[in-house]
Chains A and B, each alone.
Chain A
Amino acid sequence: MYHFNNSRSKNCKLKIMIKIDLKLFVTLSKYLPKDSGCLEIPEETTVEKLMLDFGIPPELVKLIFINGKRQDSKYRLKHNDRVGLFPPVGGG
């Protein structure tokens, strides 16, 4: 289930990787890697860091949903989290 990233350094740290399901809505979808919404990331990555890593400008994200519940960008991601990032939608 986990991918271990073995380093050769003396202070070898096991980096636990987790899988998350990422869905980017509307105009944010262009930041999603091509293949799928399932991603492997280091455990305890915050949503803030995730957005930074994918180059998603935080000001474009109005809502963060984790497993169907609104969260803020400091949330630390866990294995199998379903993550949704939503921009401001205001049209009528």
Chain B
Amino acid sequence: MVTSKFGERYDRNFNTLSLKEQKRLGASKVAVIGVGGLGGGVCEMLARVGVGHLTLIDGDSFEASNLNRQLLSEEHLIGTPKAQAAKNRVNAINSEVIVKHLVEYVDESNLYERIKDADLVMDCLDAIDTRFMLQKAAQKASIPIVSGAIAGVTGQVTTIFPGDKGYELIYGQKSRKQSKGVETMTGNIAYCALFVAALQSSECLKILLDRGDILRNKLLIAELWTNTFDIMDLV
């Protein structure tokens, strides 16, 4: 195993990032909930850019239907837990990252415990009701959420801080039980998943480094058939 020197590994991050910022990223802890279409891309990008501590959680194993879009899926990995594959990928990219992986589904009973030590949580889930659970847990843990969601070639990204209304502004009242969105009709296309994962990763960095403009109380909507990119005010 080759471990490159810190400066050499991150040479091409400079001077978009300063050395001080790079070190700050190295000390940051991010939990990634769901390592499928969005989460796979997020793991890849956060590991490469140098986020130092990643907790990767997903109860699913790869299926053939994941191959169209999920970066970490490979034919020989069908049947392998996604969280395990994600950990292996992160280790292969950047052995300096401390990775914890959990092959389990999240719900109200375990979410808070899983994310409470993180500085930020990446919502890469595929179920709307679980997103509400995550928001509740993140609010309790007093950490921000960077959320991505996709359907077909349309994607959305937002950032939710503790105390924000968050998903209620996007999906309506939680009482209206809804698990899936229109992605059940459209499927999901690879480049849209990775595009949204890239936007989420960018948002994550900006929050960790307290730099740039973030999507708090805003929803970025990208529609790739028409090259429409809008940032909508949610409040």
Please give the residue numbers on chain A whose beta carbons come within 8 Å of chain B beta carbons, in ascending order.
Answer: 23, 25-27, 60, 62-63, 65, 68-70, 84, 86-92
Residues A90 and B152 in contact, CB atoms below 8 Å apart: no
Chain B residue nearest to A59 in the complex (CB): B176
Instruction: Establish whether residues A68 and B233, one from each chain, have CB atoms under 8 Å apart when the complex forms.
Output: yes
Given A26-B186, A70-B232, 17 more A-B residue pairs with CB atoms under 8 Å apart are: A25-B154, A25-B223, A27-B185, A62-B171, A69-B232, A70-B169, A70-B235, A84-B221, A84-B230, A87-B151, A89-B149, A89-B150, A89-B155, A91-B149, A91-B181, A92-B124, A92-B149
Majority SS at the chain B contact face: mixed
The total of Cβ contacts below 8 Å across the A-B interface reads: 88
Q: Which B residue's beta carbon lies closest to that of A65?
A: B232
Contact status A90-B127, CB under 8 Å: yes
Tell me, yes or no, whether B104 is within 8 Å of chain A by CB: no
Cross-chain contact B128 with A90 (CB below 8 angstroms):
yes
B172, CB-defined interface residue at 8 Å: yes
The interface residues of chain A lying within 8 Å CB-to-CB of B180 are 90-91
Q: Which residues of B contact A (CB under 8 A)?
A: 34, 36-39, 124-128, 131, 148-152, 154-156, 169-172, 178-183, 185-186, 188, 219, 221, 223, 228, 230-235
Assembled-state Cα–Cα distance A68/B228 (Å): 13
Contact status B233-A89, CB under 8 Å: no
Asked if A86 meets B221 with Cβ closer than 8 Å, knowing A26-B154, A92-B148, the reply is: yes
Q: Name the A residues within 8 Å of B235 (CB-CB).
A: 70
Chain B minimum-CB-distance residue to A91: B183
The answer on a CB contact under 8 Å between A62 and B232 is: no
Closest-by-CB residue of B relative to A64 is B232
**B149: A residues at CB distance < 8 A:** 89-92
**Given A70-B232, A70-B235, A86-B221; A91-B171 close (CB under 8 Å):** no
Q: Which residues of chain A are near B36, meaning CB under 8 Å?
A: 92
Question: Which residue of the partner chain, among A25, A60, A69, A92, contacts B221 with CB atoms under 8 Å?
Answer: A25
23 A-B residue contacts at CB 8 Å?
A26-B152, A27-B151, A27-B185, A62-B172, A65-B232, A68-B230, A68-B231, A69-B232, A70-B169, A70-B233, A87-B181, A87-B182, A88-B171, A88-B178, A89-B151, A89-B182, A91-B37, A91-B126, A91-B150, A91-B151, A92-B37, A92-B39, A92-B125
* Closest chain B CB from A38 CB (angstroms): 14
User: B124 and A89: CB pair below 8 A?
Assistant: no
Q: Which 7 A-B pairs have the closest CB atoms?
A: A91-B183, A90-B181, A92-B126, A88-B181, A90-B128, A89-B151, A69-B233
A66 to B146, CA, bound (A): 24
Q: Pick the most buried of A27, A69, A90, A91: most chain B CB atoms within 10 A of its CB.
A: A91
What residues of chain B lie closer than 8 Å to A92, measured between beta carbons? 34, 36-39, 124-126, 148-150
- Which B residues are CB-close (under 8 A) to A26? 151-152, 154, 182, 186, 223
